[in-house]
Amino acid sequence: MAKVTIDDITIEVPDGTSILQAARMIDEQHGTHIAPPTMCYYSKLETSGGYCRTCIVSVTQGSEKDPRPMPKPVASCRTNVMDGMVVKNTTSPELLEARAGVVEFLLANHPLDCPICDQAGECHLQDLSYENGKEETRYEFNRRRFDPIDIGPYVKLHMNRCILCYRCVKVCDQLTDKRVHGVINRGDHSEISTYIEKAIDNDFSGNIIDVCPVGALTDRTFRFKSRVWYTNPVDAHRGCEKCSGKVRLWMKGDEVLRVTARKDQWGEAEQFICNTCRFDKKKTSDWTIEGPTKVNHHSVIAQNHDDLRKLQVGVKKQIHQLDGVKSELGKGPLDPNNI
C-alpha cells in the first residue's frame, strides 16, 4: 500500500496504482473534483493513455524516501504512485497554465465546427477547452483538412476533428480478434488509416464511436438527426446474447434516435455494447426502459429540462402501474424526490 497526497487530500492506495486512478478514487470517496481530465486514457482499454498529456500533474515530492520533486509535470495516467508522494493538480497555477498550453496544442488542428458536429454537447474536448483552455487560438496556419469518410455503413470518420488519442485503435485491437493498426504516417501527417475498416465487421466495432472523445467517429444512423441536448437519455436493457444489453437510449418523444453505451462519471462506457443493440434496435418496443438517466444540471443535455421532467413523470406512472412486481424499476433516479 502507498500513501499519496493529491491536492492536500491523502489516500491510501494499492501499489501500482496510477496517480490518475488515485485521484479518481479520491473524487469518488470525497465528492471532490481533483481528478485531472483525460482525452486518451480509458480505464477499460489496456495500454491506453500517454498520448494527449491533458492529465499532467506536478509531483512536488517524489516519495517518502526520496522527497525531491519531479522536474517536469508528469502524465498522471502513466505514472504510478509512490509511498509518501505529494501531487498537485488544481492547486498549482503553473500546472493549470501548462494544461492550457496542452489544450491549445490539441486545438491547433481541431476545426471550430461544433455547430455542425454531432458530438457537440457531449464532447470531451469541448468540456476540456471550456474548463481548461484559453479563449482564443494563436494558431495562424491552415488546419489539416480531410474529406469525411464512411467507415462501413454505420460509422463516419471526420479526420479533421481527430486528436489522435488512439482509443479507437485500442478498441479495434482489443475487442476484435485480429490485430489492426489504426494510425498511419507520423507527426502532423498521422491519420486514422482505413485499416480500421477491416474491424468494422466485428460485432463490437461500434464502440469506437463511444470511446472517441471528439466527433471524429460518429454514428451514421444518428447523423444530423438531432442535437444531443434535444434528446432525452433513458437507461434501458434487452436480452442480448452478444453483450450485456444494458444501454442508454437517446429519445425524442417516443422515437429512439440513438443507442449508446452507458457512460460513467468519467465519460467511459460502463459496458461495451454490440452493433445489433447499437444500430439495429431503434424501436421503443425493442427495449425495457428502466428510467431516465440522471443528468448533471450543469450539462447542456439538462437544457431540455421540461421534456425530461415530463418523461420522468411518464415513466413514474408506468412504474406505479407495475407496482407490486418486484423489478429494478423502482430504484435509482426514480425516487420521487429527484423528480
Partner 1 sequence: MQLTDRKKVVVKKEMSFMEKLYLPAILNGMSITIKHLFKRSSTIKYPEQKREIAEVYRGQHVLKRDENGAERCTACGLCAVACPAEAITMRSEERRQGEENLYREEKYAATYEINMLRCIFCGLCEEACPKEAIFLTDRIVPTEFKRNEFIYGKDKLVEPVGQPVDVTCRQTKEVLSFKKDKTKYHNQTFKDQQLLEGSQNH
Stretch that binds partner 1, among 34-42, 65-73, 113-121, 178-186 (CB under 8 A): 113-121
Site for partner 1 in 187-226 (CB under 8 A): 223-226
**CB of 134 vs partner 1, minimal distance in Å:** 17
Q: Are 21 and 28 in contact, with CB atoms under 8 Å apart?
A: no
Quick one: which of 99, 87, 95, 164 has its CA closest to 131? 99
**CB of 116 vs partner 1, minimal distance in Å:** 5
Q: Which is nearer to partner 1, 37 or 121 (CB)?
A: 121
Please name the residues in contact with 71: beta carbons below 8 A apart, sequence gap of 6 or more. Answer: none
**CB of 292 vs partner 1, minimal distance in Å:** 19
**CB of 20 vs partner 1, minimal distance in Å:** 33
Quick one: which of 253, 245, 241, 304 has its CA closest to 272? 245
* Residue in this structure with the C-alpha cell 465487421, named with its chain if needed: 201
Stretch that binds partner 1, among 74-82, 108-116, 126-134, 236-244 (CB under 8 A): 108-116
Q: Does 115 bind partner 1 (CB under 8 A)?
A: yes
Q: Does 126 bind partner 1 (CB under 8 A)?
A: no
Q: Does 50 bind partner 1 (CB under 8 A)?
A: no
CA–CA separation, 228 vs 158, rounded Å? 18
**CB of 303 vs partner 1, minimal distance in Å:** 5
Stretch that binds partner 1, among 47-55, 87-95, 137-145, 234-242 (CB under 8 A): 137-145
**Set of cell numbers at residue 320:** 406505479
Q: Which is nearer to partner 1, 116 or 322 (CB)?
A: 116
Q: Does 179 bind partner 1 (CB under 8 A)?
A: no
Q: Which is nearer to partner 1, 198 or 220 (CB)?
A: 220
Q: Does 142 bind partner 1 (CB under 8 A)?
A: yes
Three-state secondary-structure class, residue 146: coil
Query: E strand or H helix at 236, and its extent?
Result: strand 232-237
Query: Hey, what's the torsion of the CAs at 310, 315, 317, 318, to 10 degrees?
Result: 150
**CB of 141 vs partner 1, minimal distance in Å:** 9
Q: Are 219 and 209 in contact, with CB atoms under 8 Å apart?
A: yes
Binder to partner 1 among 51, 195, 229, 266 (CB under 8 A)?
Answer: 229
Q: Could you give the count of Cα atoms lying within 13 Å of 283 in the half-sphere of its Cβ?
A: 2
Binder to partner 1 among 10, 12, 68, 112 (CB under 8 A)?
Answer: 112
Q: Does 186 bind partner 1 (CB under 8 A)?
A: no
Using CA atoms, how far residue 198 sits from 95, 189, 286, in Å, is 41, 22, 29
**CB of 338 vs partner 1, minimal distance in Å:** 23
Three-state secondary-structure class, residue 230: helix
Binder to partner 1 among 74, 120, 175, 319 (CB under 8 A)?
Answer: 120
Alpha helices by DSSP H, listed for the chain, are 19-30, 93-108, 124-132, 167-175, 207-211, 275, 305-321
Stretch that binds partner 1, among 139-147, 231-239, 250-258, 272-280 (CB under 8 A): 139-147
**Set of cell numbers at residue 197:** 475498416
Size of the site for partner 1 (CB under 8 A): 23
**Which residues contribute to the site for partner 1 (CB under 8 A)?**
111-116, 120, 140, 142, 145-148, 160, 223-227, 229-230, 300, 303
